[in-house]
């Protein structure tokens, strides 16, 4: 029996467009990647030097991505995860193996257009071999119901000279409940960079835990978070850097803006175990600038539109 996923596919294309994906990504067979709806792999496209192995599991998909040594991917690899059902759970177990001196960019779109009780859990392990580079951009769309729990947990293992960067963006629709966890384990002269941008509304709840282990000499790590929280949203950021290698350098940068009854907190933790390591942190929590709001209202925007306009700029 041949399975027909055309309906799911068209739904997923339109919902991923809301998450910021271009329609061309789905139509261009030259773009490598994978599209997963629930626990079904709707499409998969590999590339020379790039292998994507998948296995269906009870509530999701197990996925292993291998990039051979010395392969530098010109086009980004596109990953789409979504659940079109109103209720249910999607679990993605992912593991990335990026070969020596290879380079790869991922663009990931996660879309949940009708959640009335949806969980999306992503448990990922990233292994970057010596001199490898990986960039991961993740954008989410959760519609306006807020009845969703998203929990990405990523462990990143960086060998000598490897570079990893990740940008997580959730600025359209509601967040719902979100828990982000990053852990890095870094060897000599490796570097990691995390940028998180989230716009929380109503009773959204956001927990971010960033833990960077600069284990070896010259390892570097930066975690930047930008949260805008309005109405009754709550955001808690826990940033931790542990530096035990000589000349390791780390920085935590957390900026939160609150409006209405929203609550924000920032807790940095810095542990330095080597006298030649250096860690810095900065954090600010403030309100939306009154003059900016009033300027936009003078230009004909309502208070709500003005807040959105300012937020879109801040999180751009």
3-state secondary structure the chain: CCCCCHHHHHHHHHHHHHCCCCHHHHHCCCCCEEEEECCEEEEEECECCEEEEEEEECCEEEEEEEECCCCECCCCEEEEEECCCCCEEEEEEEEEEECCCCEEEEEEEEECCCCEEEEEEEEEEEEECCCCEEEEEEEEECCCCCEEEEEEEEEEEECCCCEEEEEEEEEECCCCEEEEEEEEEECCCCEEEEEEEEEECCCCEEEEEEEEEECCCCCEEEEEEEEEECCCCEEEEEEEEEECCCCCEEEEEEEEEECCCCEEEEEEEEEECCCCCEEEEEEEEEECCHHHHHHHHHCCCCHHHHHHHHHHHHCC
Stretch of 94-102, 128-136, 144-152, 306-314 lying at the interface with other proteins (CB under 8 A): 306-314
300 binds other proteins (CB under 8 A): yes
280 binds other proteins (CB under 8 A): no
314 binds other proteins (CB under 8 A): yes
275 binds other proteins (CB under 8 A): no
State in angstroms the smallest separation of the CB of 303 from other proteins.
7
State in angstroms the smallest separation of the CB of 166 from other proteins.
20
295 binds other proteins (CB under 8 A): yes
Cα-trace Rg, the chain: 20
Stretch of 44-52, 66-74, 128-136, 284-292 lying at the interface with other proteins (CB under 8 A): 284-292
State in angstroms the smallest separation of the CB of 316 from other proteins.
4
Stretch of 68-76, 83-91, 180-188, 292-300 lying at the interface with other proteins (CB under 8 A): 292-300
State in angstroms the smallest separation of the CB of 300 from other proteins.
5
**Structure-token match 């890095």, residue found:** 184
State in angstroms the smallest separation of the CB of 17 from other proteins.
21
Stretch of 128-136, 164-172, 258-266, 283-291 lying at the interface with other proteins (CB under 8 A): 283-291
Which is nearer to other proteins, 144 or 302 (by Cβ)? 302
310 binds other proteins (CB under 8 A): yes
35 binds other proteins (CB under 8 A): no
State in angstroms the smallest separation of the CB of 264 from other proteins.
18
State in angstroms the smallest separation of the CB of 313 from other proteins.
3
Which tokens belong to 233?
């949203």
309 binds other proteins (CB under 8 A): yes
Binding residues (CB under 8 A) for other proteins: these are 289-292, 294-303, 309-310, 312-316
């Amino acid at each position: 029996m041949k399975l027909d996923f055309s309906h799911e596919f068209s739904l997923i294309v339109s919902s991923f467009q809301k998450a910021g994906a271009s329609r061309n990504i789905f139509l261009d067979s030259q773009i490598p990647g994978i599209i997963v709806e629930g626990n079904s792999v709707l499409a998969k496209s590999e590339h020379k030097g790039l292998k994507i192995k998948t296995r269906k599991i009870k509530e999701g998909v197990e996925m292993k991505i291998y990039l051979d040594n010395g392969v530098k991917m010109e086009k980004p690899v596109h990953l789409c995860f979504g659940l079109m059902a109103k209720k249910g759970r999607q679990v993605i177990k992912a593991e990335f193996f990026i070969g020596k001196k290879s380079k790869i960019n991922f663009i990931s779109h996660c879309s949940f257009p009708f959640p009335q009780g949806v969980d999306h859990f992503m448990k990922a392990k990233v292994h970057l071999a010596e001199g490898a580079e990986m960039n991961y951009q993740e954008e989410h769309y959760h519609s306006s119901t807020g009845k969703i729990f998203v929990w990405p947990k990523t462990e990143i293992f960086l060998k000598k000279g490897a570079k990893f960067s990740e940008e997580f963006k959730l600025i359209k629709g509601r967040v719902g409940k979100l828990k982000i966890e990053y852990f890095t384990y870094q060897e000599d002269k490796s570097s990691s960079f995390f940028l998180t941008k989230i716009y929380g509304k109503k009773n959204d709840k956001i927990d971010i835990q960033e833990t960077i282990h600069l284990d070896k000499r010259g390892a570097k790590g930066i975690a930047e978070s930008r949260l805008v929280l309005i109405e009754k949203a709550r955001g808690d950021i826990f940033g931790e850097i542990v530096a035990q290698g000589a000349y390791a350098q780390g920085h935590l940068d957390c900026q939160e803006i609150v409006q209405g009854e929203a609550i924000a907190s920032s807790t940095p933790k810095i542990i330095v175990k080597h006298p030649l390591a250096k860690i810095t942190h900065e954090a600010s929590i403030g309100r939306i600038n009154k003059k900016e709001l009033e300027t936009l209202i003078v230009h004909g925007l309502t208070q709500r539109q003005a807040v959105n306009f300012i937020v879109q700029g801040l999180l751009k």
